[in-house]
Amino acid sequence: MLGLYSHKAGSIETIVVNNNKIALGAIYFSIIGNLLLAIIKGIAGYFGNSYALIADAIESTSDVFSSFLVLFGLKYANRPADKNHPYGHGRAEPLVTFLVVGFLVASAMVIAHDAIHYIQTPHELPKPYTLVVLGTIIAWKEFSYRRVIRKSKQTHSSSLKADAWHHRSDAITSVAAFIGISVAMFLGKGYEAADDWAALLASLFILYNAYLIFRPALGEIMDENVYESMEQRIRAVAATVNGIVDTEKCYIRKSGMIYHVDLHATVDANITVKEGHAISHLLKDTLQREIPELGNVLIHIEPNEE
């Protein structure tokens, strides 16, 4: 066996720095947007007699805190590797994602509890202007989701993806509130609770969303080998390297925004150890050049007996 670690620190550090800037910009955008929306929703819901809108404000408030958690996680995860953390600090990202999911679950529970209370408590019909507020919010949150999810895909950040889904869940709860308020307004007296039923439905959607965010983060912590498209890219690049006959096992694990790889490559069984050593370095360098998101790459050389 010839196992070699090699690392183009300059190129990887450049990728990490650029991705970090993109991710931080998206998080600051989320924090400012969620803070303003929480205030607008809270005021409009209180004076407009809409608990669904107040529930929306509660979720936006939790989004502010969760975005701060994501901000902390991104800053910590992008610390450089050190003696105690030779693979870097990227695992902080999915850990922060778990905390973000906790915020989602907590906000869903609060919304559901209060919605049930208001369903059982007589109250006035929502004000018509709450629909205008909600329509504007829905458009903004969907725009925010698309912006942040694009950045998460660009940077391969799980915590940024969780933050993006906060925006999408906020948009969905706003849609539910819009429907509930519309029903309450147009059907009139006796249907005041439609707004609260909408908030209850929204809380269930938030819980489902929390699971969708939690599952990939858990897979990252557990080193699940679920990066099929990345594996295909690695094998395709390896096939272009002189001296590589084929590739066998390819194990990939994600740490923050970087992927670490263990790859078994076959070479001519009749070449010298020195030649195999050179080919493994060439393969590693080519992979890191063509796929800049790769961090540590361990090449295991196998003889081709055929």
Classified as helix, coil or strand, 269 is coil
For domain 18-221, give the fold. Alpha-lytic protease prodomain-like (1.20.1510)
pLDDT in tens, 186-198: 777 777 677 778 7
H helices of the chain, in order, are 9-47, 51-77, 92-119, 129-155, 158-187, 194-221, 228-238, 273-290
Return residue ranges of the chain for CATH 1.20.1510.10.
18-221
| 133 pLDDT tier (thresholds 50, 70, 90) | confident
Lowest mean pLDDT segment, chosen from 102-116, 128-142, 161-175, 227-241: 161-175
Closest CA to 174 of 66, 44, 47: 44
Instruction: Tell me what pLDDT residue 6 has.
Output: 40
Please tell me the CATH superfamily of domain 228-304, with its number: Cation efflux protein, cytoplasmic domain (3.30.70.1350)
Given a contact cutoff of 8 angstroms between Cβ atoms, the answer to whether 94 and 42 are in contact is: no
What CA–CA distance (Å, rounded) separates 297 from 281? 10
pLDDT in tens, 239-254: 999 999 999 999 998 8
Which residue type is seen at 149? I
pLDDT at 226 over 80: no
Instruction: Tell me what pLDDT residue 33 has.
Output: 85
Instruction: Tell me what pLDDT residue 173 has.
Output: 74
- Range 73-82 average pLDDT: 73
What CA–CA distance (Å, rounded) separates 18 from 165? 23
pLDDT in tens, 155-185: 777 777 777 877 877 787 778 778 877 887 7
Instruction: Tell me what pLDDT residue 12 has.
Output: 54
Return residue ranges of the chain for CATH 3.30.70.1350.
228-304
Dihedral of CA atoms 224, 303, 296, 230 in degrees, nearest 10, equals -50
Residue count of the chain, please give it.
Answer: 306
| 3 pLDDT tier (thresholds 50, 70, 90) | very low
pLDDT at 94 over 90: no
- Check residue 241 and report its DSSP letter: S
Given a contact cutoff of 8 angstroms between Cβ atoms, the answer to whether 70 and 27 are in contact is: yes
